[in-house]
Chains A and B, each alone.
Chain A
Amino acid sequence: MRSVTVLAIVLVFVAVVGPYLAPYDPVAIDIPKRLSRPSAEFLLGTDALGRDILSRLLYGAQWSLGLAFLISFIGLCLGTAIGLVAALGGKWVDWAVMRTTDTFLAFPDLVAAVVIAGLMGAGTWSLIFALSVTGWMRYARVARGIGLSLETRGYVIQAKLAGLSSLSIARWHYLPSLLPSLTVVWTGMFARAILGISALGFLGFGVQPPVPEWGTMLLDARIHMRSTPLQMIWPGIAVVACVLAINLAGDALRDTLADKENR
Chain B
Amino acid sequence: MIASLLGLFLRAFVVLSGTALLTFALLWFAPGDPAQAIAMARYDAIVTEEIVDLVRKEAGLDVGFWPAFLSWVGPLVLLDFGNSSVTGRDVWPDMLAAVYYTVPLALAGLFIGLAIALPLAVLATKQPGGLLDRCAVALASLGAAVPAYWLGLLLILLFAVQLGWLPAIGARTPAHAVLPALTLGLGVASSLTRIIRSGILEARGQPFLPAIRRRGVADRKISRDHVAPHAAIPVVTVFGLELAFLLEGAVMVEVIFGRPGLGTFLVTAIESRDFPQVQAVVILTALLFVVVNLLIDLIYRAIDPRIGERNA
Contacts and interface: CB of A to CB of B under 8 A. Distances in A.
Q: Do A and B bind each other?
A: yes
Contacts, number: 121
B146 A108 contact: no
A85 B271 CA distance: 37
Contacts of B259: none
A108 B244 contact: yes
B161 to A, nearest CB: 6
Given A107-B285, A191-B145, A226-B161, A218 B150 contact: yes
A80 interface: no
B161 A225 contact: yes
A120 B31 contact: yes
A244 B31 CA distance: 36
Contacts of B11: 99, 102
A236 B251 contact: no
Given A114-B267, A119-B26, A244 B141 contact: yes
Interface secondary structure of B, over-half rule: helix
A226 B31 CA distance: 39
A116 interface: yes
B252 interface: yes
B153 A114 contact: no
A84 interface: no
A110 interface: yes
B14 A99 contact: yes
A255 to B, nearest CB: 13
B154 interface: yes
A139 interface: no
Nearest to B157: A229
A81 interface: no
Interface in B120-147: 141-142, 144-147
Contacts of A118: 267, 270-271
A109 B244 CA distance: 8
B255 to A, nearest CB: 6
Contacts of A104: 22
B26 to A, nearest CB: 6
Given A114-B270, A202-B252, A225-B153, A248 B141 contact: yes
A121 interface: yes
A195 B147 contact: yes
B15 interface: yes
A240 B251 CA distance: 20
Contacts of A198: 147
Contacts of B278: 115, 119
B108 interface: no
A244 B142 contact: yes
Given A115-B270, A232-B153, A236-B146, 6 more contacts: A102-B14, A106-B16, A109-B248, A195-B147, A203-B267, A247-B141
Interface of B: 11, 14-16, 18-19, 22, 26-27, 30-32, 141-142, 144-147, 149-150, 153-154, 156-157, 161-162, 243-245, 247-248, 251-252, 255-256, 266-267, 270-271, 273, 278, 282, 285-286, 289-290, 293
CB-CB nearest 9 A-B residue pairs: A103-B18, A118-B270, A243-B145, A244-B145, A236-B150, A108-B244, A110-B248, A119-B30, A108-B248
26 contacts: A99-B15, A102-B11, A102-B14, A106-B16, A106-B290, A107-B285, A108-B244, A108-B248, A110-B251, A111-B248, A114-B270, A115-B278, A118-B270, A119-B278, A121-B32, A202-B147, A225-B157, A229-B157, A232-B153, A232-B154, A236-B146, A240-B147, A241-B145, A243-B144, A244-B142, A244-B145
